[in-house]
Every structure is written in C-alpha cells, then in structure tokens.
Amino acid sequence: MSTLDIARVAGGLVDQLAASTAATTGDEWRVRRSAWQLLSRGAAVAERDVASASAAAPQLVRDVLSRDVERDESGRLTGVSGLTLVPTQHRIWLGDAQLYTWCALDLLFFPRLLDRAAEFESECPATGGRISGRMAPDGSGEFEPREAVLSLVVPRAGAPVRSSFCNFVHFFRSAQAAEAWLTNNPDGYLLDATQAFELADHLTRSLDLNKEES
C-alpha cells in the first residue's frame, strides 16, 4: 500500500461521489446525509421526509436525489449512494435494521459517517466464503478472517461511482484468494484490515471537511 496515498484516494472518492450524486455544497450534503440516516432505519424513504429532516427546499431535495438512487414502484427511496435495501453480496446491520451496500468499503464507511455501531458480512467473490466484522461509531473495528483483504481501484474521473469503483471493491478471504482479481486489475490494490479502516476514516473525514467548507 506504500505506493497508494490513502488520503489522496479518499479525497478523490469524495469528488467522485459529489459529481455522481449532485451533492457539492453544504446544503446538498445535508440532504444526502439525511437520506442516509432515514434509510438506515431499514425502510423505504419518501422525499418529503428527507426535505423535513434536512430542512431543505423540496426542489433542492429533488435535484440532489435525481441521481445515484434506487426507488420502489411508488417512488420512495430504497437506495441512496451506496446504502440500500436491495440485496447485494454486502450485508450490514445498523441496530435492528438490516441493509446492504454497493461495495465492501461502504460496510466500513457508513457506520463511521452515521455514528452507528454495526455488524456486517460479505461474500468473497473468489471462494464464496464469508467475511464478517463489526465496527464501533468511532471507526474502530475488526473483521474475520484476519487475513481478509479489501480490493480497491482508483475511480476514473467523471465515471459513475458504482460502475467505475463500487463494482470492483470486494472483501476477499485472503490475498491469495484475490490473486486472479489482481491479475485482471493490474492497477488495483489489496488493503489489509488496518489500511481498510484507515481509508474509511479518511473518507469520512474528507466528506465532513467538504461539508463544512462548502
């Protein structure tokens, strides 16, 4: 990981998230964060509830939630920029609520961002085996097996976050299990537990800084 600047990658991911989700100002980030907080209860969310929770104008809420979201047949939000009710290989429990995430890094990011304790599990795409873990609100945590690694690519500028980043970010049960992935993604990286938690922390801090400065 010595050749990858974690803080730089975190800042780049925030830029990608901003471009993909139409959230660049402080007000827009508050809308996005309110949507995440409401969704973390484990049920679909109406836009009017996001407007109320964020104290934002309905038009701003509509603009921010016009991209990078998932909806049910009635138009309620079921997924918001990485946190979703739609099943994926990445499962997370926030209190009594069971949700899913778009990528393995989200499992470490959302508990930190939402200041919530969490348990999670993910499926290794190479072996089908399970990786499980837990996180405290302060960002400390662990996952098993201890030799599990997180795959990572640096997202392409201007590309959608999910297709250019999330779809490549997995937990593997070991570096050996990730060898084929690394061969197919020669510009990718494998992070151990310490590095993965450090990246999640930098990502959260970068997002908070972006929100405060806007």
What DSSP state is assigned to residue 192? -
Tens of pLDDT, residues 55-78: 999 999 999 998 889 999 999 999
CA dihedral 196, 35, 40, 12 (to 10 degrees): 0
Question: Would you say residue 1 lies in a domain?
Answer: no
b/e code 112-149 from CB counts within 10 Å (16+ = b): bbbebebbbbbbbbbeeeebebebeeebebebeeeebb
Question: Would you say residue 58 lies in a domain?
Answer: yes
Domain count within the chain: 1
- Euclidean distance between CA atoms 181 and 183, whole angstroms: 5
Tens of pLDDT, residues 65-123: 988 899 999 999 999 989 999 999 999 999 899 999 999 999 999 999 899 999 999 99
Summarize the confidence of residues 142-156 as an average pLDDT: 90
Per DSSP, the residues of 137-166 read: TTS-EEEESTT-EEEE-PPPTTS-HHHHTG
pLDDT of residue 202: 85
CATH code for position 117: 3.30.450.410
Question: Would you say residue 106 lies in a domain?
Answer: yes
Q: Is the pLDDT of residue 23 over 80?
A: no
Question: Would you say residue 13 lies in a domain?
Answer: yes
Q: Which of 3-7, 70-74, 152-156 has the lowest mean pLDDT?
A: 3-7
Question: Would you say residue 103 lies in a domain?
Answer: yes
60 and 27 Cβ atoms separated by less than 8 Å: yes
79 and 70 Cβ atoms separated by less than 8 Å: yes
Choose among 70, 74, 83: nearest CA to 34: 83
pTM (2 decimals)? 0.89
Question: Would you say residue 119 lies in a domain?
Answer: yes
Question: Would you say residue 189 lies in a domain?
Answer: yes
Domain carrying residue 155: 6-213
Question: Would you say residue 57 lies in a domain?
Answer: yes
**42 phi-psi bin (left φ>0, alpha ψ -120 to 50, beta other):** left
- Euclidean distance between CA atoms 200 and 72, whole angstroms: 29
What DSSP state is assigned to residue 22? T
Q: Residues with Cβ < 8 Å from 43, sequence gap 6 or more?
A: 85
- Euclidean distance between CA atoms 203 and 187, whole angstroms: 20
Choose among 134, 109, 117, 137: nearest CA to 36: 109
Cα 108 from chain centre: 7
